[in-house]
Structures are given as C-alpha cells and as structure tokens.
Amino acid sequence: MGFDNPQHIAHHPSARVLGVAITTTKIDQEFGDQESTGCFRIYDDQTFTREPMCTGTAVRPVRLTHTTGCLASSEIPLEQGEKPTSLSLIEMGPDGLSYFALGTTFENSPDDAGASNSGNLRLIKVRTDDVSGRPAAAEVFAKHQLNGTVYDIKGIWGMLAVAVDHRVSYA
C-alpha cells in the first residue's frame, strides 16, 4: 500500500472483498507541511496471497500479503481534511443486503460550541460485474453529515446504531 496507512478493515464474505479505510499523509518537500487525505478501497480475494505467519505451531494464522493493485474503480476519495474513524459491514433491510458503513471526521473543524469536529456516515455498496460475477466497484449508496466524529457503527434491529462523540444515535 506504499505511503497509505490502513486505519480500519472490514470483510464482506459474500462479495469476497476486504473494505479498507485509508489515511495518506503527504509532506511538502519544500516547506515541510503535512497534508492528510483519506479514502476507502476494496480489495478482492485475488489481490492477496495467503502465507503462514509462523510455523511449527498448532494454530496456523494467515498473513494476507498484498500482491497486486486494488480493483479498478474501487477507490472512493474522502473530502479535503476528512479522515476515516470507523468501518463496519452491516446488513440492512428485509433482503439482508450488506453495506460497508464508513464513519469519518473532519480535522480542525470544531462545531459552534468548539467541542467537536463534524463527520460523515457513508453506506457503501459493492457492485459486481454482470459477466464475471466478481466485484467491479464500490459506490456510495447513502451519505449523511453528522455533528460530531463517527466513532463506531453497528447494524441493530434493522437500524443503524452510530456512536457520535458522547452519544449513540439510531437511524
């Protein structure tokens, strides 16, 4: 992943992909200023190879080693100054459709009271290719701006439970 710093990972078993929330920090070579950007990427099961992490033990944990680039059209960039803070896979609706739920925060943007940053909650759908059946791309299905940093997201009782700053909200 190069200079990318993976922050959160969620597995989507039926689509056979990993969703990864990433922060990238770039340093201006002339002035030394740092600029952080965020994005969400999907990696399919062909992107990684499996290799044992240690040998000679009864338990055989597996390390996923990045071998090729991410899927075409599989990156969703975040807004300027926006960083990922949470990532979950949730099931919604009567059909049990699965979505990646990505929570974010904006750096250096306190609300009117000066207590917190604002953030976004995105539901991300993985589209599959009609011919191959393999994951083709990730797309934002829904986006909602919140007053606060989104720290955690869970699917409960057919709704979303979202931990935002010092409260839990349901949607």
What's the average model confidence in pLDDT over 136-141?
Answer: 85
What's the average model confidence in pLDDT over 154-167?
Answer: 88
pLDDT of the residue at 55: 54
* Predicted confidence (pLDDT) per residue in 99-130, tens digit: 999 999 997 655 555 556 799 999 999 887 76
Strands (E) in the chain, as ranges, are: 4-12, 17-27, 34-44, 48-52, 62-66, 75-77, 82-92, 97-106, 119-128, 135-146, 150-156, 159-164, 167-170
Closest by Cα among 157, 156, 162 to 142: 162
pLDDT of the residue at 27: 79
DSSP-assigned letter for residue 110: B
Which residue's entry shows tokens 């949730």?
90
Q: What does residue 91 show for φ and ψ, rounded to 5 degrees?
A: -105, 135
**What is the chain's mean pLDDT, rounded?**
79
Banded model confidence at residue 72, pLDDT cuts 50, 70, 90: very low
pLDDT of the residue at 40: 95
What's the average model confidence in pLDDT over 71-82?
Answer: 80
pTM for the complete prediction? 0.80
pLDDT of the residue at 13: 87
Distances (CA, A) of 138 to 19, 59, 121, 148: 9, 34, 15, 25
Higher-confidence position of 15 and 59: 15
Token pair, residue 105, equals: 């925060």
* Predicted confidence (pLDDT) per residue in 28-61, tens digit: 778 877 778 899 998 887 766 656 555 555 555 5
Distances (CA, A) of 77 to 17, 37, 170: 18, 8, 26
136 neighbors 124 (Cβ within 8 angstroms): no
Higher-confidence position of 9 and 132: 9
List of domains in the chain: 4-170 (2.130.10.10)
